[in-house]
A = this chain, B = another copy of it.
Amino acid sequence: MGGFKHLVVVKFKEDVVVEGILKGMEKLVSEVDAVKSFEWGQDIESQEMLRQGYTHAFLMTFEKKEDYTAFTSHPSHIEFSATFVTAIDKFVVLDFPSVLAKSPA
Contacts and interface: CB of A to CB of B under 8 A. Distances in A.
Contacts of A39: 1-2, 98-102
Interface residues of A, number: 47
Interface in A55-75: 55-57, 59, 61, 65, 68
A30 B102 contact: yes
A92 to B, nearest CB: 5
A95 interface: yes
A82 interface: no
A91 B47 CA distance: 13
Interface in A27-51: 29-30, 35-46, 50-51
A41 B5 contact: yes
A17 interface: no
